[in-house]
Amino acid sequence: MRRLLAFAAVLAVLSGAAGAQDQKYYDLAKGDYPHDVAAGPSGEVWFAGQKAGIAGRLDPASGQIDRIPLGKNSAPHGVIVGPDGAPWFTDGGQNAIVRVDPATKEVKVWPLPPERMPYTNLNTAAFDGRGRIWFTGQNGIYGRLDPKSGDMQVWDAPKGRGAYGITGTPKGDIWFVSLAGNYLANVDLESGAATVYEPPTKDQGARRVWSDSRGRLWVSEWNSGNVSVYDPSAKSWKQWKLPGEKPRTYAVWVDPDDKIWLTEWTANAVVRFDPDTETFESFPSDRPNANVRQLLGRKGEAWIAESGTERIRLIRYASKTN
């Protein structure tokens, strides 16, 4: 009990340690509903406006927001910035992969083959080391698009529905997780075959995944409230429970210092985990029901999409990397 109290005290001290001066909230247009967010190479920040069917481009310096319609019935879920510096969207409404040219704002759409599954509930995407974009669809698919040739392949996900977060490693490998299937999977970049790795916690609800600089896979577990890590070279798992009563771990991003950023819905907070000290630091939102479904950033900046309050949140942090 004494240990628990001491831990709670440390957590309380650490809570909000970034300080108000290190945070900023950007209000979006009502109805934009930012689902995912990604930091661009020129300082801009992109978001997927799921309800409005737009690509949002925020200029953090001026606060100006450009809203770019992605097409009829568009409802983008995920956004990442590709090696070409452009934002790429997984658009559930159009059942397509969508790219926006950052200079001309031109929108290019690659629809998924409808004969296989007319609605795949596209989730997120990641680039491999060969310039191809891989994606997941929650209805039970994953796929690969070569933007140069337009060639698109789609495969059935192991255990059916649930394919959710996806990430690329520094080596260019691709891994994804399944929320309903409760697994982490690695794909063969040519054949597309998926190899499943089960986390130690049963029915953990692996929701999103991100690679650190060493190629270890960090997984946010919704059902268990854990963050877990799989080390492919050691073939080993390790996991930690997030602080608080019944935590719900939604999103994960690993910063350039290999610190783990998570979003936790019960505490309505962004949480940073230090794997070296095995401690958590909490940054609660200043409004209830922030419902953060994803966060992503760059050196010194964590960018957070608050779908519930329709805001983009920035937390600046001290980075050790040069």
Partner 1 sequence: MRRRPTDAQRQARAACWISCTLALVSLLLSGPVAHAVAGDAARGERAFQRCYSCHSVDPKDAAKLQGPNLFQIVGRPAGAASGFDYSDAMREKAAAGLTWDAATLDRYIADPEAVVPGTRMSVPPLRDEQERADLIAYLARPDANRR
Stretch that binds partner 1, among 70-78, 99-107, 254-262, 274-282 (CB under 8 A): 70-78
Residue with Cβ nearer partner 1 (10 or 180): 180
Options 119, 171, 274, 287; binder of partner 1; rule CB under 8 A: 119
Task: Compute the distance between CA of residue 87 and CA of residue 182 in angstroms, rounded to an integer.
Answer: 29
* Residue type, position 8, single letter: A
Stretch 208-247 residues interacting with partner 1 (CB under 8 A): 222-223
Task: Compute the distance between CA of residue 74 and CA of residue 276 in angstroms, rounded to an integer.
Answer: 42
Residue with Cβ nearer partner 1 (97 or 254): 97
By C-alpha distance, which of 205, 223, 209, 56 is closest to 124? 209
Regarding 311 and contact with partner 1 (CB under 8 A), the answer is no
Residue with Cβ nearer partner 1 (129 or 158): 158
Q: Is residue 123 within 8 Å of residue 77, measured between CB atoms?
A: yes
**313-317-86-167 Cα dihedral, nearest 10 degrees:** -100
Regarding 92 and contact with partner 1 (CB under 8 A), the answer is yes
For residue 187, the SS3 value is strand
Read off φ and ψ for residue 299, nearest 5 degrees. -50, 120
Stretch 145-174 residues interacting with partner 1 (CB under 8 A): 161-162
Residue with Cβ nearer partner 1 (289 or 321): 289
The DSSP output letter for 259 is P
Task: Kindly list the residues in this chain that would bind partner 1 in the complex (CB under 8 A).
Answer: 33, 35, 50-51, 73, 75, 77, 92-93, 117-119, 121, 138-140, 161-162, 179-180, 182, 203, 205, 222-223, 265, 288-289, 291, 293, 307-308
